[in-house]
Copies of this chain bind each other. A is one copy, B any other.
Amino acid sequence: MHDVGRIAGVSQVTVSRALSDPSKVSPETLTKVMGAVEATGFVPNAIAGALASRKSRLVSALVPSITNVVYSSMVRAFSERLRAHGYQILLSETGFAPEAEEATVVAHLSRRPDAIMLTGIQHTPQARRLLLAAGIPVVELWDVSDSPIDLCVGFHHVDAARAAAEFARDRGYRVAATVTAADERACRRRTGFAERFTRDTGNPVPDFDTGGAASIAAGRQGLAGLIDRHGIGGGLIYCSSDIIAHGVMIEAQSRGLRIPDELAVIGFGDQEFARHLEPALTTVRIDLAQLGQSAADAVLSRLDGQTPPSPVIDLGFEIVARASA
């Protein structure tokens, strides 16, 4: 800035002002400064700016996995809205373990983000402490909590699972099983489904835990395991995600099981492919874009010094009844 100023015939501060708030300098000096900026290819050092202003214009986002469209869609919506307000997103994967998340939280907080978004409400006590001590807006996404760290935008997983169980019951299914990926929220949904279904039908709901991330292969193994171990030959399979459900459907079809007559399937997430499967997948829709936007809005209002009406926003879910169940 010093050099740019010398070329433009002004001081370093004037360059700073011209760049950060053009209305604070006269039109002539603005032109001169911009000319010098062009000529030198000067790109301001945001690190120095952040240190001086104590504002990084950086917002952290922590998600379990970036290759999972569910999370990346939320992040996209979250990022776009924040970018429109001049913030950049520092994104990291945390995996599905709170301990791994904690290390990432520390790494992010050291960059002094102006706000931070986390996925879910399960964090280590130390992570909660650090987050609280950071004194910045914190938004927990993809779940609702009774004791949010700060802000919380999501939906009630157990309610969603119960609604699916009731849907299954109302459709007349009396036998059900679940295929669940290794994810705390997926497990909570699985339990919510099983309890409600058992309460309403009297029948136990066996589970297959894929032990890993959601994939078609995991879904196929899930149905195969259910058939081999529990002798499941029909009824309904409640899956922790659409991907798993896709795998279950493929496995069923390869075994000659007709869907939904011999085996019904319910997914979770309503990804694009769900409606295009044959038969189309019955699933639970979550408005990912809305989730991301609301989280961004909540953060922005806090950054603006406002107190949002409610710290926790429940955006709900919707059962999408299609042909697979």
Chain A residues within 8 Å of B, Cβ to Cβ: 41, 43-48, 50-51, 56, 58, 66-67, 69, 72-73, 75-76, 79, 88-93, 106-112, 129-130, 133-134, 215-217, 220, 246-247, 250, 253, 272-273, 276, 278
Contacts and interface: CB of A to CB of B under 8 A. Distances in A.
Contact of A92 (B88, B93, B272): B88
Contacts of A72: 66-67, 72
Most buried by B among A46, A215, A253: A46
A168 to B, nearest CB: 25
B88 A45 contact: no
Contact of A88 (B111, B133, B253): B111
Nearest to A49: B110
A90 B90 contact: yes
B111 A46 contact: yes
Contact of A41 (B91, B133, B215, B216): B133
A159 to B, nearest CB: 27
A270 to B, nearest CB: 13
A147 to B, nearest CB: 20
A276 B130 CA distance: 45
A138 to B, nearest CB: 14
12 contacts: A43-B109, A45-B51, A47-B47, A48-B51, A67-B69, A88-B107, A88-B108, A88-B111, A90-B90, A216-B276, A217-B276, A273-B273
Q: Which of A88, A215, A253 has the most CB of B within 10 A?
A: A88
Contacts of A90: 88, 90-91
A82 to B, nearest CB: 11
Contact of A112 (B45, B73, B220, B253): B45
A23 B174 CA distance: 65
A180 B76 CA distance: 24
A298 B21 CA distance: 39
Nearest to A86: B107
A4 to B, nearest CB: 14
Nearest to A126: B41
Contacts of A79: 92-93
Given A41-B133, A45-B51, A72-B72, 10 more contacts: A41-B129, A41-B130, A46-B110, A47-B50, A51-B51, A69-B69, A88-B92, A88-B108, A89-B91, A220-B276
A110 B48 CA distance: 10
A43 B106 contact: yes
A111 B47 contact: yes
A110 B45 CA distance: 5
A215 B73 CA distance: 14
